[in-house]
C-alpha cells in the first residue's frame, strides 16, 4: 500500500518507526519510463522505498518553464502505487523552504557546475544541490537513485554527498529511451510526434560519434564534427553543445582518447531543451 505524505514531520515520524533500509527516488513529477526504472531499482534494493515529488523553483532560470512544468500528482501517485512505492513524499514549497529557517544554498565547484549545461543555466546546479541536500537531510536514505541521462547532475550529487559527508550511496541507473531512441524526459510531452522523430536524431548523432571513434580513424574533434554535420540537415534542431568529457571527473579529454569518456549534447527543438549522452 502506498501512502501520500506532505509534511516533513510526518515523513520523519514514519521513518523513525522503521529500522529497514531506505531508498529514495527524487523526482519533479511527470513520471515516465525513466523514473519507473529508478523506482524499480529502489524497490529491488530496499525494504522501504520512497519517491519524492517536488518541482524545485531554485533550479529554474528566469526564462525557463517553472510555471508550466507538468504537475500531475494524482497520476504520479498512481504510477508509484502500481510499482509498490511505500511512501510518496509531496511537500509544498513552504515546507521545504520555510521562511523562518535559513536553508543553506549549496554552490558546487565551478569545474563541475559551470561546464556543459551550466554555461547557459546559471545557478541551476546550485538549485539542484541545495534541494537534494535538503531532502537527503530530511529522509536520510541509505540509497538515492538518479538516471544517467542527467549526467552532470549525477556527478554533482556524488560531489555533494562526499563534500558534506552524507552517508547515502548514490546509485546511477541507465538511460531509458523511447522506441525511436529519444531519451525519456518529462519535457518530451511538449514535443509533437514530428518533433519527437526529429529529436531521435540526437541519439543517432551520439551513436555516430561513438562508431567513428571505434573505427580507429577519427579523433574526438573529427568525430564531433561529423556528428554536427549529420545534425545540420535538421534545421529544427538548435545545438547548444556537443562535447567529450572524461568519465572520471567530467574534465576535458585529450583529442586522441578512445575510451573512458562520454559524448554529451544539449539542443533545443522549438522551446524544448533536450540533453543526452553516450559512454565510450
- The per-residue pLDDT of the chain, averaged, comes to 95
Strand partners, 49: 23
Q: Which residues are the active-site residues?
A: 35
How many CA atoms does the CB half-sphere of 177 hold within 13 Å? 18
Residue 102 has pLDDT above 90, yes or no: no
Gap between the Cα atoms of 250 and 156, Å rounded: 10
What CATH code is assigned to 186-279?
3.30.1300.10
Q: What is the pLDDT of residue 66?
A: 84
Q: What are 169's three cell numbers?
A: 550511496
CB 49 within 8 A of CB 43: yes
Which position has the grid cell 569518456? 261
Runs of H (alpha helix) within 118-219: 124-139, 151-163, 193-214
Residue 143 has pLDDT above 80, yes or no: yes
Instruction: Give per-residue pLDDT as tens, 60-91.
Output: 887 777 888 888 999 999 999 999 999 999 99
CATH class of the structural domain 3-173:
alpha beta
Task: Spell out the domain ranges in the chain.
Answer: 3-173, 186-279
Instruction: Give per-residue pLDDT as tens, 160-219.
Output: 999 999 999 999 999 999 999 999 999 999 999 999 999 999 999 999 999 999 999 999
Q: What is the mean pLDDT of residues 225-253?
A: 98
Distance of CA 276 to the CA centre of its chain: 10
Gap between the Cα atoms of 12 and 50, Å rounded: 12
Instruction: Give per-residue pLDDT as tens, 8-43.
Output: 999 999 998 877 899 999 999 999 999 999 999 999
Q: What is the mean pLDDT of residues 113-117?
A: 97
Q: What is the pTM of this model?
A: 0.95
Q: What is the pLDDT of residue 100?
A: 63
Amino acid at each position: 500500500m502506498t501512502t501520500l505524505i506532505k509534511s516533513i514531520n510526518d515523513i520523519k515520524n514514519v521513518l523513525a518507526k522503521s529500522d529497514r533500509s531506505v531508498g529514495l527516488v527524487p523526482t519533479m513529477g511527470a513520471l515516465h519510463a525513466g523514473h519507473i526504472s529508478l523506482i524499480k531499482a529502489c524497490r529491488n534494493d530496499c525494504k522501504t522505498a520512497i519517491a519524492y515529488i517536488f518541482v524545485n523553483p531554485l533550479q529554474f532560470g528566469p526564462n525557463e518553464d517553472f510555471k508550466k512544468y507538468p504537475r500531475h500528482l494524482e497520476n504520479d501517485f498512481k504510477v508509484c502505487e502500481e510499482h509498490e512505492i511505500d511512501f510518496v513524499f509531496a511537500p509544498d514549497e513552504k515546507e521545504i523552504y520555510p521562511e523562518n529557517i535559513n536553508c543553506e544554498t549549496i554552490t558546487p565547484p565551478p569545474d563541475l557546475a559551470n561546464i556543459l549545461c551550466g554555461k547557459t543555466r546559471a545557478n541551476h546546479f546550485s538549485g539542484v544541490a541545495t534541494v537534494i541536500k535538503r531532502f537527503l537531510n530530511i529522509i536520510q536514505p541509505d540509497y538515492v537513485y538518479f538516471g544517467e541521462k542527467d549526467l552532470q547532475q549525477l556527478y554533482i550529487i556524488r560531489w555533494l554527498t562526499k563534500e558534506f559527508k552524507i552517508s547515502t550511496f548514490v546509485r546511477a541507473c541507465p538511460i531509458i529511451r523511447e522506441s525511436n531512441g529519444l531519451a525519456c524526459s518529462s519535457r518530451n510531452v511538449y514535443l509533437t510526434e514530428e518533433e519527437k522523430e526529429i529529436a531521435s536524431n540526437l541519439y543517432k548523432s551520439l551513436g555516430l560519434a561513438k562508431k567513428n571513434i571505434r573505427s580507429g580513424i577519427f579523433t574526438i574533434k573529427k568525430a564531433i564534427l561529423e556528428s554536427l554535420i549529420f545534425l545540420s540537415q535538421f534545421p529544427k534542431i538548435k545545438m547548444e553543445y556537443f562535447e567529450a568529457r572524461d568519465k572520471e571527473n567530467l574534465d576535458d579529454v585529450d583529442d586522441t582518447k578512445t575510451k573512458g569518456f562520454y559524448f554529451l549534447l544539449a539542443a533545443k527543438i522549438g522551446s524544448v531543451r533536450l540533453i543526452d549522452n553516450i559512454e565510450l
